[in-house]
Amino acid sequence: MVHIGYTMMTEQAGPRDLVAHVVGAEEAGFDFSVISDHSFPWLDEQGHAPYAWSVLGAAAQATSRIPLMTYVTCPTFRYHPAVIAQKAATMQLLSGGRFRLGLGSGENLNEHIVGAGWPSASVRLDMLEEAVDIIRALFGGEYVTHHGEHFQVDHAKLWDVPDTPPPIGVAVSGPRSCELAGHQADLVIATEPKQELLDAFDAHGGAGKPRIGQLPVCYDPDRDAAVKRAHEQFRWSLGGWKVNSELPSPTAFDQACETVRPEDVAESVPCGDDVTAFVDAVRPYAEAGFDEIALVQIGGAHQEPFLQWARTTLLPALREL
């Protein structure tokens, strides 16, 4: 059975609302939850970017069942991998073993703020690979010293280590990232229902490991209102990862998607309240081999109606997949 998750989208809601939303998702019956980790929204219209790790700590205390996961954190620029290891170990303890650490190579939008420059994609993946090695070593609870190509660690140690370290997921978008994830990750993360990504992950050691996808949706009883909101806040998503990972600001995203029309967004994002359309949008992920799919309800002020509808209508329909 496909497990259906809920996304705390930090770009569209403040910290207190995000915690309330994930409490509502647990009550509605979602199987797991994920959270984005940004320093900027993609578009000014979204209007938020609280610190995801503080939200996670609050969510761990406000919920009791639902698993929590970063989707995804970049452990190479804003955060040093040794800092990520400490944060993730602490989250695993606070949540009682419900935390998974999702990692990725990052976006210029968020990582530029520390002024370290933005190298090529191949360098960013090399940095991610080295960062995962450091994080795993620190999860062992021993002193770690590391002198690598990209990172230095001097006699570091985690003093509060969970009995079971958080599983590590790696986001993939092409052959190199799939190879990295297959070798290093406990699970794989992707935002497109491409079976070739999962096949490449399996070929490099990922066979049998969980695979988690993500899908934006826009529930509203008024479909026209849903299409308008999806275009206003998610038109950036049609740009593709290779473009989006390079853009430095919400203004750049706005310019990059200025020709995207509402009907273009509605072709890729299910809008309205026709549950069949939502099920049909999830189906390609299930058919590609994803066993977990996190939904993103577009619009920070429109979470509660979505959660109510999900509990009564959407989740029962999706569980028939």
Give the separation between CA 270 and CA 106, rounded to whole angstroms. Answer: 27
What letters, b where the CB count within 10 A reaches 16 and e where it falls short, cover 246-283? ebbebebbbebbeebebeebbeebbbbbebeebbebbe
What letters, b where the CB count within 10 A reaches 16 and e where it falls short, cover 146-168? beeebbebeebebeebbeebbbb
- Is 183 within 8 Å of 201 (Cβ atoms)? no
End-to-end Cα distance, the chain? 7
232 given a catalytic annotation = no
- Is 16 within 8 Å of 59 (Cβ atoms)? no
**In this structure, what DSSP letter does residue 172 have?**
-
- DSSP codes, 46-59: T-----HHHHHHHH
Residue of 151, 190, 150 lying closest to 170 (CA atoms)? 190
26 given a catalytic annotation = no
Element at 91 (helix H, strand E): helix 81-94
User: Tokens at residue 239, please?
Assistant: 């740009």
Half-sphere exposure of 45 (CA within 13 A, CB side): 13
- Collapsing DSSP states into helix, strand and coil, what is residue 274? coil
Q: Of these residues, 21, 26, 38, 112, which one is catalytic? A: 38
Q: Residue 180's beta-bridge partner residues?
A: none
Q: Of these residues, 107, 111, 129, 179, which one is catalytic? A: 107
Task: Tell me the one-letter amino acid at 205.
Answer: G
Contacting residues for 252 by C-beta, under 8 A, at least 6 apart: none
Known catalytic residues are 38, 107
